Structure 1
Amino acid sequence: MTNGNNSNVEKILFDITPKIQELADLCEKNNEIDKELFTKYEVKRGLRDLNGKGVLAGLTNISDVCATKMVDGKEVPCAGNLYYRGYNIKDIVKGFLEANHYGFEETAYLLLFGDLPNPKELSEFHETLVERRTLPPNFVRDVIMKAPSSDMMNSLSRSILNLYSYDSKADDTSIPNVLRQCMNLISQFPMLMVYGYHAYNYRLGEDLYIYAPSPELSTAENILMMLREDRKYTELEAKILDMALVLHMDHGGGNNSTFTTHVVTSSGTDTYSTMAAAMASLKGPKHGGANIKVTQMITEMKEVVKDWEDDDEVRNYLEGLLDKKYFDKKGLIYGMGHAIYSVSDPRADIFKKFVKQLAHEKGYDKEYALYEKVEHLAPEVISQKRKMYKGVNANVDFYSGLVYGMLGIPQKLYTPIFAAARVVGWSAHRLEELKNVDKIIRPAYKPLAPYREYIKMEDR
C-alpha cells in the first residue's frame, strides 16, 4: 500500500468527515430526552436522588463511606469518614505511620480477608505477593512493547486482557482460582503500568530501561524504583505514595468502577474481563481521571491569574470556569465536590497534612498556597452560581495530582496509580459478589418511544 493510500485510509478512519457529522447531528437529535421526564417518572439519574443519596443496589462488608449522622431523628451532613472492614481509614493510616512500616500490603490483606493481619500473616502475605511479581515469559516483548499506547490506562487494559491467554484456568470462577488471579494482578499492576510507560517513551526515541521489582521493597518503593532511571527515591516520597495507594484502595460498593466490577462479575465472566471493564470506568475524567483534570486546570489558572495571592483574581477565574470561559469550558471546578461527601472528604483531609510537608521540602510552597486558596474559595463561588442540594468540598483528587507532580510522576501515570491501588478493592468486591449473589444485575429503563407501524422502503 502506498503512502498516499495510507493517508487516505487514515482520513477515512480517523477524521470526522462531513457525512459523519451529518449522521452525528441526526444521532443527537433522535437520542435527546426531555430532562423534565426524568423527574416526572422519578428516575434516579446516576442512581442517586437529588440529595446525592445512592439507590440501594447491594450489600457489602468491605468498606463504608459515611457522610451523615442522626441528630434528633434527622439525618444531617457531617465530616466524612471512610471505613475499611469497619476500621476508620484515619486510624489505619495513623497505625502504620506510628509503627513506621508501609501500609499497602497490610491494608490489602484487610480488604481481601476481612481482618488486620498479625506479623506472621502479614509476612506470609507479603511473600505471596513478592513471588507473584513476575510476568509470563516474553510478555514484555510480545505484548507491552507491541504498539504501545499513549494512554497508559488503555495500555494496562490491553495487558490485562492479554494475560487471559496465558492462564489455563482463565474462565474458572471458583473462589480459590479468582483469588489466585486477583493476587497475581495486584502484584503485576506496578510492572504493567511502568513498563507500558517506558515502552511508549522508547517509541518516542527515549532510552529503554526495564527494572525487575525487588523482593525487599514495598509496592510503593518498587513503583518509584522501576519508574526512575537512577532507581533512587527518598523515604518520604515512598511513604507518601504508599499512603496515596492506601487512600485510593476502596471507596464503597457504589463508586462507578466498583459498581462496574459487581455488574460485570454478576454476568459470570472471567476476572480479566472484569478488571478491564473496571479500568474503562476508572479512566473517565469524572472518576479516576479527575486528578489529571485538576492538574491541567491549575496549570491554566497559574497562567491566567497574575497574582496567586489575590483572592479576587482567583475568584474571578473560578467564576469563569463555571461560566464555561476557561479550561475545557465544561463549567466545572475539578476536584471540588463529591457524590457522597458534603462537609469533608477524609482522604483529602489525611492527604493534605502530608502534602504541605512535601510541598515545603520540594519548594512548592507557593503552589500549595494556591491550592489552599482554591479549596477555600471554590465552595463559595459554586454556591453563588449553582443550585445546591448539598455541600461542596475538596475531594481526594484535588490534592493527589499535586502530590504526584511533586513526586516527579508523569501525568500519564496518575490514573494508573489509582488503578494499582483500586485493583485491591475491585478484587475484594468481585470475591464478595461471587460468594453471595448468583443473579445478574439488570436495572430497569422506562421506554419512551411510541410504537410505530413498519413503513415499506418504497413508501418512505
Structure 2
Amino acid sequence: MDLFGDYNNNSTFEGDDMRIIDYLAKSAVAASDIDKNLFDKFNVKRGLRNADFSGVLVGLTRIGDVVGYEKTDDGVLLPKDGELYYRGYEIKDLCNGFQNENRHGFEETAFLLLAGKLPTRSELTDFTSLLSRERELPSFFSKNLILSIRGRNIMNMLARSVLSMYASDNEAENYSPENLIMQSISLIAKFPVFVAYSYYGMRHSYQNKSLIIRHPNPELSLAENFLYMMKGSKYSKLEADLLDLSLVLHAEHGGGNNSTFTCRLVSSAQTDTYAAIAAALGSLKGDFHGGANLKVVDMMENIKENVKNWGDDQEVADYLNKILRKEAFDKTGKIYGIGHAIYTKSDPRAVLLKEKAHELAIEKGREEEFKLYDAVERLAPELFYSYKGGVGKVVSANVDFYSGFVYQCLEIPEEIYTPIFAIARVAGWCAHRIEEVTFSSKRIIRPAYKNVCERIPYLSIENR
C-alpha cells in the first residue's frame, strides 16, 4: 500500500481558491518580465555564456576537458573535430583500449575519474570487487523507501533514494578524502539497483504490471548487472558492450555542464555528499539536459511517420526544412540531437556510439532505421546553416542523437533513458565533488544578479 494513499498536493485547493491562485500566477509572470535590452546594456552573461557562446570561466579542474573549437589570439572561434578527455586521456583512446581487449570499461573509467590515474590489473580487480559488494541494498531500504513509497518519475525516486542514504550513513557529514571515496563507491554501485527497483515499483503501481525484483549478481560487470536486473538473462554480449560504452561516454563532461556545475555549486556551500548528488539529479532531469535523447526519439518517430521513402535524401531534407520552419513535429524549429554548447564539427561521443550502434542495428534487424538516422545526421547541419542564411555556429550530431536509438534497440523503457545517464554521470559528479571540497578556493560559489526593479515607496495597507 502506498504510504501516502491518494494524497495529491493540489487537493486542498478548490472552489474560490483558484481565483487567488490565478491572480497570483498572473502577477508573478508580470513581475518576472525583464526588458531583454537590459541584458545587453549591463553585459549580462546569460546562461554563464560569453557573447560568442563560449562558457564563462568560473573555475579550474583536472578531471574532464571538452574541446570543440580553437580560439585565435583575436578571440575568433574556429570549428574543429571534438575531443573529450578524462584525466588527460582522450576518450577515443580509452574506449579503443578496453574494446580491443574485449572487456568492459566503465569500472576502469570510474576508477580513473576518482583516482586520477588508470588502475593496474590488481587495482581494477579490487575496485570492481568493492563495487560488486556495495550493490546489495538493505532489505528495509528496498521495501520501505523504494517499493512502498513509489512515484511516477524514476529520476525523482532516484533522488529520494540518494537523500535517504544520508540516514543510514553514520559518517554522512565527514568530508575526509577516505570517507568521500567510500560514499562515492557506494553511490556508483547502488545507482543501477535504485533505478531498476524504482522502475519495477512504478510499473507495478501505475501500469498494473508484475513486480519483478532481481538481486544484483556480483559476478557481472555493472553494465551486465543492470541489464540482468532489467531483463533477466535475455541480453546478448553486444547489448552489454553497447550499454557499457554508453556509460563510459556519459560518465564525465567537464565542470561546466549543468548537473556537474550544480554538484560543485552545492558542494561549495559545504553540504553533504547526498544533498549535492540529489541536486545534480534535479538538474539532469531537465529536458534541456538529460532528457534530450527522448526528444530525439520522439522527433525520429515523427519523421518515420511522415517520410515515405527513408532512403530518399531529398524527401528527408524537405521534411527537416519543415521542422526548421516550425511547420512540423513540435513546431519549435529545433532538430533535436543536432548541435551542442561546445562541440562544433563533431561530438566524439556520438562518433564512438554510432560505430557500435550500427552493429547493434544489424543484430536487431533495424539497419534501415539506422540509415535514416545517418541521413538526418548528414543533412541537418547543412540545412541548419542554410536556414540561418550562411551564418552562425557550425553544428553536428551530439551523443543524444544516437543514445535513444541504442536504448530502443536494447529494449530499455523510455522511463529510464535519463536515469541511465545518471548511472554513468554519478562517477563524474563524485570526482568533481571531491575536487571542490578538498582543493577548491574554499569559497562558496556566488555569482551576481543585478537588480533592475525600480525603487517604490512603502504604502500602508489602507492606501494600496
Structures share fold, TM-score greater than 0.5: yes
CA contact (8 A) 2:69 2:342 kept: no
**Which one-letter code corresponds to 1:391 in the other structure?**
V
Q: Distance in 2 between matches of 1:278 and 1:343?
A: 28
Q: Which residue of 1 aligns with 2:339?
A: 337
8 Å CA contact 2:68–2:81 kept in 1: the answer is yes
For the structure 1 residues 291 and 15, does the alpha-carbon distance in structure 2 shift closer, same or farther, using more than 3 Å as the test?
farther
For the residue of structure 2 that corresponds to 1:116, the secondary structure is: coil
Give the stretch that moved more between structures: 239-248 or 449-458: 449-458
Deviation at 1:398, TM superposition (A): 0.4
Cα distance, 1:6 vs. partner?
Answer: 8.2
Between the aligned partners of 2:357 and 2:435, the Cα distance in structure 1 is 34
Instruction: Select the residue among 441, 446, 452 that pairs with 1:448.
Output: 452
Residue aligning to 1:170: 172
TM-score normalized with structure 2 length: 0.93
CA–CA distance in structure 2, aligned partners of residues 27 and 416 of structure 1: 33
Superposed displacement of residue 13, structure 1: 7.6
Measured against aligned partners, the alpha-carbon deviations of 1:76-97 in whole angstroms (never above 9, x if no partner) come to 2210000001000000000000
Aligned residue number for residue 274 of structure 1: 276
Match of 2:404 in 1: 401
Matches of 1:327 and 1:27 in 2, distance apart?
Answer: 31
Whether the 8 Å contact between 1:51 and 1:390 is mirrored in structure 2 is no
Out of 169, 181, 185, which is 2:183 matched to? 181
Going from structure 1 to structure 2, the CA distance change for 1:337 and 1:127 (only over 3 Å counts) comes to same
Deviation at 1:271, TM superposition (A): 0.7
Q: 1:323 to 1:24 in 2, by over 3 A?
A: farther
Long gaps (5+) in structure 2: 1-5
Equivalent pair of 2:247/2:421 in contact (CA under 8 Å): yes
The answer for unaligned runs of 5 or more in structure 1 is none
Deviations 1:47-94 (A, max 9, x none): 111322111110000011111236798652210000001000000000
* Aligned counterparts of 1:405 and 1:430: Cα–Cα separation in 2: 32
Is 2:420 the partner of 1:417? yes
Q: Deviations over 1:125-157 (max 9, x none)?
A: 111111111212321110101232221111111
CA contact (8 A) 2:134 2:189 kept: yes
Cα-to-partner distance string for 1:168-189 (whole Å, 9 max, x where unaligned): 1222222221211111010000
Superposition map of 1:373-412 within 5 A: 373-386=375-388, 388-412=391-415
Instruction: Find out whether 1:240 has 2:235 as its counterpart.
Output: no
Query: What is aligned with 1:117?
Result: 119
Cα displacement string for residues 240-265 of structure 1 (whole angstroms, at most 9, x for unaligned residues): 10000000000000000000011000
TM-score of the aligned structures, taking structure 1 as reference length: 0.94
Instruction: Give yes or no for the alignment of 1:368 onto 2:370.
Output: yes
Q: Distance in 2 between matches of 1:269 and 1:85?
A: 25
Change (3 A) 1:309 1:14: farther
Q: How many pairs are equivalent? A: 455
Residue matched to 2:324: 322
Q: Counterparts in 2 of 1:10-409, with a 5 A limit?
A: 10=11, 12=13, 17=18, 19-69=20-70, 76-203=78-205, 204-228=207-231, 230-386=232-388, 388-409=391-412
Q: Distance in 2 between matches of 1:205 and 1:116?
A: 46
Secondary structure, aligned partner of 2:341 = coil
Per-residue deviation at 1:329?
A: 3.1
> Hey, what's the Cα distance between the residues in 2 that align with 1:300 and 1:314?
12
Question: Residues of 1 paired with 2:455 and 2:70: CA distance?
Answer: 47
Aligned residues: percent identity? 48
> d(CA) in 2 for partners of 1:8 and 1:398?
36
Residue deviations 1:402-445, cap 9 Å, x none? Answer: 00000011101100000000000000000000111211000011
Preserved contact between residue 175 and residue 434 of structure 1 (Cα < 8 Å)? no
Of 406, 412, 431, the residue aligned with 1:428 is: 431
Aligned to 2:3: none
Residue 352 of structure 1: CA displacement?
0.8
Distance in 1 (alpha carbons) for counterparts of 2:83 and 2:233: 36
Give me the whole-angstrom Cα distance separating, in 2, the residues matched to 1:77 and 1:8.
49
| Bigger shift: residues 142-151 or 58-67 | 142-151
Distance 1:385 1:201, change over 3 A: same
- Structure 1 CA distance for aligned equivalents of residues 106 and 8 of structure 2: 48
Q: Which amino acid in structure 1 is aligned with residue 330 of structure 2?
A: D
The 1:17–1:301 alpha-carbon spacing in structure 2 relative to 1, beyond 3 Å, is farther
Question: Do 2:258 and 2:289's aligned partners in 1 also have CA atoms closer than 8 Å?
Answer: yes
The separation in 2 between residues aligned to 1:9 and 1:158, in whole angstroms, is 21
Shift of 1:394: 0.5
Residue 139 of structure 2: SS of its match in structure 1?
A: coil
CA deviation after TM superposition for structure 1 residue 300, in Å: 1.7
Instruction: Answer whether contact 2:82 2:347 (CA < 8 A) is retained.
Output: yes
Asked whether the equivalents of residues 385 and 392 of structure 2 are also in contact (C-alpha less than 8 Å), the reply is no
Q: What amino acid is aligned across from residue 204 of structure 2 in structure 1?
A: Y
Q: 1:8 to 1:80 in 2, by over 3 A?
A: closer
SS at match of 1:83: strand
**C-alpha RMSD of matched pairs (Å):** 2.2
CA separation of 1:71/1:386 partners in 2, compared to 1, >3 Å: closer, same or farther?
closer
